[in-house]
Amino acid sequence: MDFFDLITILIILSAVFSYLNFRYLRMPSSIGLLLCGLILSLGLIAAGHLGLHSDAMALDIIRHVDFNRLLLSGMLGLLLFAGALHIDLGDLIAEKWVILVLSTAGVIVSTLVVGSLMWLVFGLLGMPIPFLFCLVFGALISPTDPVAVLDVLSRLNAPVSLRTQIAGEALFNDGIGVVTFIVLLRMAVGGTASIENIAWLFAVEALGGVLFGLAAGWVTYRMLKSIDNYKTEILITLALAMGGYAFANSLHLSGPLAIVTAGLLIGNHGRSFAMSPMTKERLDAFWELVDEILNGVLFVLIGLEMLVVDFTARSLLAGIIAIPIVLLARFVSTGLPLGLFYRRTWVGFRTVGILTWGGLRGGIAVALALSLPDVPVRGWILNVTYSVVVFSILVQGLTLERFTRAPAAKVVPALRQDMDHTS
């Protein structure tokens, strides 16, 4: 089966599932598509047990899809650019301290909490996973997924400050999370890393990615400003999203941070000073369509990945236990860093509850788990990761609107006032 056949099958499945979701389920797109994919996977597995062997054919198709490479080296740049393109820079700057703390210290604290508690859980379940690999799991599951978060938030009538905090954190914390994952994985497979090397790697990846994104975005902005042809301008932004992401990764810089920075520049400064009204309208329509198509394919793939996850009773139990542990780590990793900025801690406590439930995990965590080398603990980590991701998208995603309507949502603007006074 060649690449075109695979893409054709995924597009067909995405179209059928989107229709079923819109016609009958009426769920947010990402949640409905994931649910359809899971139902199809379970149906194929059941048919296989009945001797129909349909699961073997589907499994062959899924194994031809390099999910890790497809997402992290291909789709992610386009999805991040589409998301950043519609983030208001003024709102982002107003919430800069919240986003900075959550996307840096929050990820590191969560990694330590998840890794430590899961090491105890794996030990109690008779699954001897080394402590460093437990920290690797903590690193891949701690960053919130921008694709899942943005898709759900776009359908919620939440306060602007709340949406900005959650969306901004999700867009920026991938850089820190991926670098943390890479460093811990190198140490876990036998490598060594000094404090100086780790600090240098973080600085080069994160700061270098932002600077590269600014440079690429500025060059693109100058090109857009010099012409007035929406077809060419759309093509230029597509080249920025694809080429900028690939080039940043080839330079060992953070591709996600680079493309988010470039997308923010084009979506704000470029939209205001370099585009005609027609170009803005056509550009928004194009990137909305790209975002919808890629989201459809991505969440269908997440659902179908269940076919390659070999669950056992112990790994399923570990995944169930991991769900409250990840939520607890999210609560601690948001509450402790942000608590340093509060003078009225009860406000922070109520707000952190919303930020905790809104921290969705998605395809990036699954892709990182699939990128693990062929070590004995790989299957267990993948199983637990998949359990947390499915719960996050289906349960947290479906109930997030209730949290934004709760009285706690009304205190979110007070969070920004507290931080403005204390910073």
Collect all residues with Cβ–Cβ distance below 8 Å to 147 and sequence separation of at least 6: 30, 76, 79, 83, 295, 298, 362, 363, 364
Q: Band of the pLDDT at 240, cuts 50, 70, 90?
A: very high
Identify the CA nearest to 302 among candidates 89, 10, 83, 92. 10
Contact between 402 and 158 under an 8 Å Cβ cutoff? The reply is: no
Domain hosting 129: range is: 67-422
For residue 22, being part of any structural domain is answered with no
φ and ψ of 394, to 5 deg: -75, -50
Max CA-CA distance within the chain?
67
Write out pLDDT tens, residues 78-108.
999 999 998 899 989 988 888 888 888 899 9
Q: What ranges in 76-207 are assigned the alpha helix state H?
A: 76-84, 89-94, 96-103, 105-124, 131-141, 146-153, 160-188, 195-202
Q: For residue 124, what is the domain's CATH number?
A: 1.20.1530.20
For residue 344, pLDDT beyond 50: no
CA distance 359 to 364: 13
Q: Band of the pLDDT at 274, cuts 50, 70, 90?
A: very high
For residue 8, being part of any structural domain is answered with no
For residue 112, being part of any structural domain is answered with yes
Write out pLDDT tens, residues 184-233.
998 888 766 677 777 887 888 888 999 999 999 999 999 999 999 999 99
Q: Band of the pLDDT at 69, cuts 50, 70, 90?
A: confident
Which amino acid does the sequence have at 291? D
Q: Band of the pLDDT at 74, cuts 50, 70, 90?
A: confident
For residue 182, the tally of other CB atoms under 10 A from its CB is 17
Collect all residues with Cβ–Cβ distance below 8 Å to 143 and sequence separation of at least 6: 107, 170, 173, 174, 176, 177, 178, 364, 365
The larger pLDDT score, comparing residue 353 to residue 360, is at 360
Contact between 393 and 371 under an 8 Å Cβ cutoff? The reply is: no
- By CB atoms closer than 10 A (0-12, 13-18, 19+), residue 195 is exposed
If you write DSSP's letter for every residue of 177-188 in order, what string do you get? HHHHHHHHHHHH
For residue 416, being part of any structural domain is answered with yes
Please measure the distance between the N-terminal and C-terminal CA atoms of the chain and give it in whole angstroms.
57
For residue 413, pLDDT beyond 50: no
Q: What is the distance of C-alpha 109 from the center of its chain?
A: 18
For residue 303, being part of any structural domain is answered with yes
For residue 202, being part of any structural domain is answered with yes
For residue 12, being part of any structural domain is answered with no
For residue 32, being part of any structural domain is answered with no
For residue 145, pLDDT beyond 70: yes
CA distance 137 to 152: 25
Whole-number CA gyration radius for the chain: 21
How far from 92 is each of 98, 99, 148, 167, 392, CA to CA, in Å? Answer: 10, 8, 19, 9, 25
| Total-model pTM | 0.88
Q: Specify the number of domains making up the chain.
A: 1
